[in-house]
Amino acid sequence: MVNIILLGLVSFFSDVSSEMVYPIIPLYLVNVFGSTPAMVGIIEGIAESIASILKVFSGHIADKYRHKKPLAFAGYSGGLFYKAALVFASSWVGILGARVVDRLGKGIRTAPRDVLVCESAPKGNLGKAFGLHKALDMAGSAVGILISFFLVNYSKGTFNYKQLFIISAIPAVIGLIILSFVKEKKLPRCESESLNFFKNFSKLDIRLKLFLCIAFMFTLGNSSNAFLLLRAQDKGFSESRVILLYFIYNITASVFAMPLGKLSDRIGRKRLLVLGYGIFAFVYFGFAVAQNKATIAAMFCIYGLYTAMTAGAERAFISEISPKDLKGTMLGLHSSLVGIALLPASTIAGFLWEYAGASAPFFWGASLALAAGFALFFVMRTPKSAAAAR
């Protein structure tokens, strides 16, 4: 488990760096550059989708050449270029470019890092391993948000955003140093015919293909978290209090990620994912009808529970039902499909907000989450022998 802890710490410091910045980006765009919610949605969607295309290729390269750690290092290094791009950005176009750089780094590192976690997990504890990694990942997010909150809250109107961007590069450097201590299994380059994904697509487990389709449908309603932050501001929360709400979400996800990951080892990934989709629908419905600040705060907390339920279980499920030589490719393909869906998801959410009201994108997201949950429960049948995915 040492490798998993080290990888978790890498994500911890990387997320301290990124989340010091992320919750203020939509507010920065709207309040400083005068961007509309629709423009925020387009920026987030473009950034996520462009970068996501890399995830499947990064995973495939990791499977073929067996060099997962160098790929992960290259991806995490993108965080430093992201901060530099933010410092020099002078318009929403510059922010878009910076977000693309950040998401490109994530696109490169995600699949090889997940394969490293999978290979380092003790037998029968894959959910626990991914849960531990996610717990450290979300804890880093929480710490980064808390730092951002204090800096914004106590700046007394003189807060320097670009100064925060520069400071946020420090934990990113610490994460890269820790990554250098991660040990990778030395395996020969794989020349297996099974690596030809397109030729062997028809041979993939039917559960894997169905789940990828369901995940894509679900994500069409799961727009950028930027809309949750804007919804909180719309309901009267100040900039600093919006950041604090995002902290509550992340700390909740961190606390429950490992226990729920272990639960998925016992009851199965499918059951936990169905419940997670149901909770997501409840949360988005809550954001849609919220009339006061207390409801918004409660929804952020429950949203953290949804993340803890699904993030590790999804990756563990895909790892278990993917061909041995295609784990990185399949993890990357899942991340790519989810990221690509974020472009129409965030664009739709932005235009729904602007032309149908602030509640509309949340009703849309809740509806698709319920549809995905029903599809996962009733359509995606699981053989009795596949206990880990039942």
More confident residue, 27 or 372: 372
Would the pLDDT of 120 be above 70? yes
| Residue 384, pLDDT score | 41
| Residue 190, pLDDT score | 47
Would the pLDDT of 98 be above 50? yes
What average pLDDT does the segment 320-332 reach?
78
Give the residue numbers spanning the domain of 329: 2-185+194-389
Distance CA 213, CA 338 (A): 10
For residue 228, give the nearest of 172, 145, 159, 313 by alpha carbon.
Answer: 145
Distance CA 194, CA 376 (A): 27
| Residue 224, pLDDT score | 79
Residue with tokens 């974020």: 342
| Residue 360, pLDDT score | 95
At 14, the pLDDT band (50, 70, 90 cuts) reads very high
- pTM of this prediction? 0.74
Which of 190-194, 321-325, 327-331 is least confident? 190-194
More confident residue, 59 or 318: 318
Q: Total domain count for the chain?
A: 1
Q: Domain of 247: which CATH number?
A: 1.20.1250.20
What average pLDDT does the segment 37-42 reach?
76
What average pLDDT does the segment 378-385 reach?
57
Would the pLDDT of 38 be above 70? yes
Report the mean per-residue pLDDT for the chain.
82
| Residue 142, pLDDT score | 86
| Residue 36, pLDDT score | 77
Asked if 321 and 205 count as a contact pair (C-beta separation under 8 A), the reply is yes
Task: Work out the number of other CB atoms within 10 angstroms of the CB of residue 120.
Answer: 20
Dump pLDDT digits (tens) for 354-364. Answer: 899 999 999 99
At 65, the pLDDT band (50, 70, 90 cuts) reads low
